[in-house]
Amino acid sequence: MEFGGIPQEVTADGQLLEDLAEVARDAALLHGLLMRTRDAPNSSEVVGHAPFALFPSPVPKSLFLQALAAQPLFNRLVDRISRDPEFLENVLASTIKVDDFTARLFSIYRHVLQEGPKQSIVLGLNRSDYMVDQDRDGGMSLKQIEINTIAASFGGLTSQMPDVHRHILGVAERLEDQKKILDNNPAAGLAKGLAKAWELYGSERAVVMFLVEEIQRNIYDHRYIENELWKRNIPVIRRRFEEVFKTGSLDQEKRLFVGGKEVAIVYFRNGYMPQNYTEQSWEVRLMMERSLAIKCPDIGTHLAGTKKVQQELARPGVLESFFPNEPDAVDQIRATFAGQYTLDMGEEGDRTVAMALAEPDVFVLKPQREGGGNNIYGSEICQVLEAVKGGSERTAYILMDKIRPRPSHNYLLRPGEPLRLNACLSELGAFGAYVRHGKDMVMNECVGHLLRTKSVEYSDGGVAAGVAVLDNPLLV
């Protein structure tokens, strides 16, 4: 018997397994699958390997290809939403009354609209995440969990995973499986989008600024993209909110300068959660949004990725409004949607509350947050909804059908943890990169994929949260 490509002789021979795991950990380090340690998160003097799966995990080929094919359409959809203020205003009206974080973002959006956008170049680097849903009859379908329009991570590290798994499978004498590992280099594709936008900005001296967090354990994920830019002689700086507050300014033409350097692109790898902001940070965000610099994402694109927008898109007729006379595009996107339900005040929201309280195990309650580890499941749904069901606070959430993937088995390698066979669930991400100049879409591509795998004991959480590990799809 095999578990999604794990040979029986490995699961049966403890010493062989330990030897293979040691080879795998060294391969991860050799190939640059690196993270800083928890003890020294801002130092590169001591590093460990990023968590990863010992073997690639099975993914149905047809559904994998479906995710990649849909990504350019999602790129177009996000871009169209980002420049539809009436839609965003209507959709987020209830949310911004009760969710302060979304309200602060929307306040900046309104400010920029009133002043008039300074920059006609738009850059989007996003990632659409899916799981494989299995119905009662065993049929499988691809269902979208969310689309990340800000700080979509792990494009750098996952670009190293194919070589890691090819080496492991070679040592394990799984040569046929080794041939099935797909090439995957999102780092180069994301950098291609950044480079295209930088070229359009039109100043060789202007820099790409990575806006980064205070704690930077995941710096190597950034560095792979950064190094792709340096190969093209595109200068890069890394700055925190605090540093931009101290040294940032706009000139009369609204060009953004940080530490005396003109900024062509602000690439947000921070700023997606409330705890990322102080009052100074909000001032900096407004200044950057008002500037001539290309924002990745700009404030409209950031808001396009909110859960409330995701829920609204699932309503009949909404996709058609963004893709008039393109029924095939509508069908491709809608095919990936799981059931989404509003918690707005009124009869429809009341029905959603009653439905969730009656069967909490078949739903997920989602707040307007990015970054993993925020969703609410099972009995906790009842606790939260009982507390907010009678008031407008409930509109800070949406309800979604719970996706039910079929588990596979794998060994999850984390620094310092013992080796054991886990029943696992995998989440597939498709990376998108697009550049629009005025009305012209000058780049629109799916630039790679990401597979993250976690033990079934965890309901939520990604790699950065310490729950999931990096993986490769083994197409079946």
Q: Catalytic residue positions? A: 127, 146, 148, 153, 307, 366, 370-371, 452
3-class DSSP assignment, residue 266: strand
**Cα-flanking dihedrals φ and ψ of residue 354, to 5°?**
-60, -40
Structure tokens at 422: 């886990």
Structure tokens at 62: 């047809």
**What DSSP letter does each residue of 154-213 carry, written as one string?**
-TTGGGGHHHHHHHHHHHTT-HHHHHTPPP--HHHHHHHHHHHHHHHHT-TT-EEEEE--
Residues 6+ apart with CB under 8 A from 7: 172, 174
Structure tokens at 142: 């691809």
Q: How many CB atoms are located within 10 Å of the residue 229 CB?
A: 22
The continuous run of DSSP H or E covering 16 comes out as helix 14-30
Given CA atoms 30, 31, 36, 42 in this order, what sign does their dihedral have? positive
3-class DSSP assignment, residue 30: helix
With 0-12 / 13-18 / 19 or more C-beta atoms within 10 angstroms meaning exposed / middle / buried, residue 181 is: buried
- Per DSSP, 295 falls in state E
The continuous run of DSSP H or E covering 102 comes out as helix 100-115
- Whole-angstrom CA distances from 5 to 20, 130, 157, 178 are 15, 21, 23, 10
Q: DSSP H helical segments within 232-368, as ranges?
A: 241-247, 279-290, 299-304, 307-313, 318-322, 327-334, 347-358
- Per DSSP, 260 falls in state T
Q: How many CB atoms are located within 10 Å of the residue 220 CB?
A: 21
| Residue 260 · residue 289 · CB < 8 Å | no
